[in-house]
Structure 1
Amino acid sequence: MLRIGIIGTGGIADAHIEGYRAFPETCEIVALADVVPGKAHDKALAFGLTEVAAFDDPRAMLAEARLDIVSIATPPSTHAALAVAALDAGIHVLVEKPMAPSLEECDAMLAAQRRSGRMLSVVAQNRFRDDLATLKDVVDSGMLGSISHIRVDSAWWRGLPYYDLWWRGTWEKEGGGCTLNHAIHHIDLLLWLLGSPTEITAMLANAQHENAEVEDLSVALFRYDRGLAQLTSSVVHHGQEQAIVIQGAHARVSQPFSVVAERSRPDGFPEPGGDPDVVSRIDALVAARTPLAHLGHEGQIGDLLAAVREGRAPVSTGQDGRNAVEVVTAIYKAGFEREFVALPIAASDPYYRAGRLVANAPHFFEKKASLIEAAS
């Protein structure tokens, strides 16, 4: 029976608690920790975890609770130090997105993983959604042909009070705005589907949140071989209509799922009715899929538990988390410096280092509130 601890008992910790509780035959939650006095105890009571030890010091929990796995669900600026401490203590780590605010910190986490021999997994719960796993299967099948263009809309909406929470809305504590903390999911999916781009450029703005230093909107362009991708990261989009649209040589697939395929007339214009053969082949592939047994955080936690038992890598690794942070870093560098940024980003690049982004980031506005708890 694997012994589980969770550091950070804010809202996202609920998904971790429920995820572990879905596998009672494999693991048990034995400890919770939060730096706010009493908060871990209150979270344990709320979930009926009467036998769980509650700590106000995360490092005390790592030292005393005899853990096999720890979930880190704290603000991004704390991820690296906590993950390194846990790995060095011989504990497997599942860390919330984003992995860390800088590539330097990501690499410190990966170094700790290598020297400890433990596992490091970064939350990428959207890989464990049937609609998105379907896109992955279609892309991997090769039925689309070479990829021409991908449009990713990471479209969310948040009101002004969202940035009143103490760690949100600042470059130092949150590490960035919607690009890092919301679109990181879609960036991970883009990399999962297509791999890393070779070049990125971007523009950033704060369109609607006068109480935050960080951006609430960014638009980035990516170069992929002969094709291009575009990513909109936002917390100003009413309706929160998120989408991924992949255009290949033979067909288009998208999430929400649909498939369209054109066929050329002799003069190059599209044939009415498209190409039903291509559509039917893709539809058959989709229909033959076995649905995922566990979804979201529960799916990722189940995969990590299985990976520990089987001695294999988890579906979402520390390197995957670093790759997503590298893309975010390139978007910020491109937006701040108004340039094209080539990937990979070298360790000699100033933006690789912790603190450089904070030093160079524009303050669109100044933070006006610093609440310990978000308003309910």
Structure 2
Amino acid sequence: MTENHNVQASKKKLRAAAIGVGSLGRHHARNYAELAREGRLEFVGICDTNKETAHAIATEHGGNAFIDWRELLNNVDLVSIATPTETHCEIACAFLENGVHTLVEKPIAVSLEEADRMIASAKRSGAKLMVGQLERFNPAMVALRPHITKPLYFEIHRVSPFPNRSLDVDVVLDVMIHDLDAVQWLVGSDVKVSEIRAVGIPVISDKVDAVNARIEFENGAVANITASRIGTEKIRKTRFYQTNAYVVLDYATKFASLTSLDPDAAHPLLGISINRLEINDVEPLRAEIVAFLDSIENEDEPPVTGEDGRRALALAVGVLERINEHVRRVIKK
């Protein structure tokens, strides 16, 4: 009887909910609702402090509407948290301590201390903590990742028009953190940062809106990253050189290519080969959520761990510290 009961329990669908359904969170809700219709999980519903928004999104995608996330604590097996960053730690720790698997949007938290609390909560309960670094699941990055050898020099530009949404963090934590995570992931999570230089200024908001950073790694890799949320166009381009190729990655158009010498060419000038990679055009957020589900069901480590999220946050904090140092130098002059 006990064995049969365990088998039946193991086949029960995971119960999921989306907490915070603003500009990004509502897409978490949509994906959970779609996965529920496909039979992959049970969509419990959504939670948002804005009552009208909560009911509107719940009506659109099905499920129940909640105003207080605490009502979900004992009614779900996994959640996505897409609330303002300053609330991540409190909400995530409550669910993690309760054994609920948690996918929290980037940045993981507003401070390294809060990130450490979240990681510790996951370890105590055994619940999985994943951080939503969406660009890792962009089809262009997915196609490119197997071709990475040893990246040595990056030029990265991430520019957006000023966002029509609330801004609870500066451009480093809001926008640049995508590329800070990607660079560390491509260089190698075990490779330490040796030096950071950065400048940044507030332009429209009271926080830093535009920034340029130069990051050097102990293995000799260097990354120049420009991020802005006051541009007139949307740019999501990464170019880098590795030991055997020049790589172009465009997240916006989902394009990736490698340019290298053809070893069989009669002359080096005739031996340039451009390999445009084939893309499997899957929605990045859906791929991210499915990867989260897979890690739960297969009892694997999430593809973007809490430690990964903390590492990206630590680099972002370092960039902000260098920006503040630069501002102090300018003011002294």
Length-normalised TM-score, structure 1: 0.74
Alignment of structure 1 residues 12-23 onto 2, 5 Å: 12-23=24-35
Q: Aligned-pair distance for 1:20?
A: 1.7
2:104 counterpart of 1:95: yes
Deviates more, 1:68-77 or 1:10-19: 10-19
The residue identity in structure 1 corresponding to 2:162 is: R
Q: Map 1:116-135 onto structure 2 (within 5 A).
A: 116-135=125-144
Q: Residue by residue, what CA displacement relative to the aligned partner does 1:195-247 show, whole Å, maximum 9, x if unpaired?
A: 3533211111123x1xx210110000011222311111111222222211111
Deviation at residue 294 of structure 1 after TM alignment: 4.0
Cα distance change, pair 241–53 in 1 and its aligned pair in 2 (3 A)? closer
Per the alignment, residue 62 of structure 1 pairs with 73
How far does residue 15 in structure 1 lie from its aligned partner after superposition? 1.4
Residue pair 2:161, 2:232 contacting (<8 A) in 1 also:
yes
Tell me if 1:241 matches 2:241: no
Cα distance, 1:110–1:26 mapped onto 2, change above 3 Å: same
Partner of 1:338: 326
- Report the secondary structure of 1:95's partner residue: strand
1:183 to 2:197 alignment: no
In the other structure, the counterpart of 1:367 is: none
Deviations 1:20-46 (A, max 9, x none): 233232212113212223431222112
1:45-77 Cα distance to aligned partner (Å, 9 max, x none): 122x1xx232211112224xx200011110000
Q: Percent identity?
A: 27
1:272 aligns with 2:269: yes
Q: Is the 8 A contact 2:139 2:284 kept in 1?
A: no
Q: What's the CA shift for 1:119?
A: 0.3
2:246 is the counterpart of 1:252: yes
- Find the aligned partners of 2:129 and 2:14 in 1 and give their Cα distance: 16
The one of the two structures with greater contact order (alpha-carbon pairs below 8 A, sep at least 6) is 1
Structure 2 unaligned segments of length 5 or more: list them.
1-12, 251-255, 329-333
Structure showing the higher strand proportion among its residues: 2
1:10: Cα distance to partner?
1.2
The answer on 1:316 being equivalent to 2:304 is yes
Residue in 2 aligned with 1:356?
Answer: none
Q: CA RMSD in A?
A: 2.4
Offset of residue 104 of structure 1 = 0.6
Structure 1: stretches of 5+ with no match in the other structure = 169-173, 264-269, 340-359, 361-376
Q: For the residues of structure 2 that align with 1:61 and 1:39, how far apart are their CA atoms? A: 17
SS at 1:22 equivalent: helix
Q: Flag the 1:147–1:46 CA change in 2: closer, same or farther, 3 A.
A: closer
Q: Letter of the aligned partner of 2:106 in structure 1?
A: K
Q: Is 1:152 paired with 2:156?
A: yes
Matches within 5 A, 1:129-144: 129-139=138-148, 142=149
Aligned residues: 302
Establish whether residue 27 from structure 1 lines up as the match of residue 41 from structure 2: yes
With the length of structure 2 as denominator, give the TM-score of the two structures. 0.84
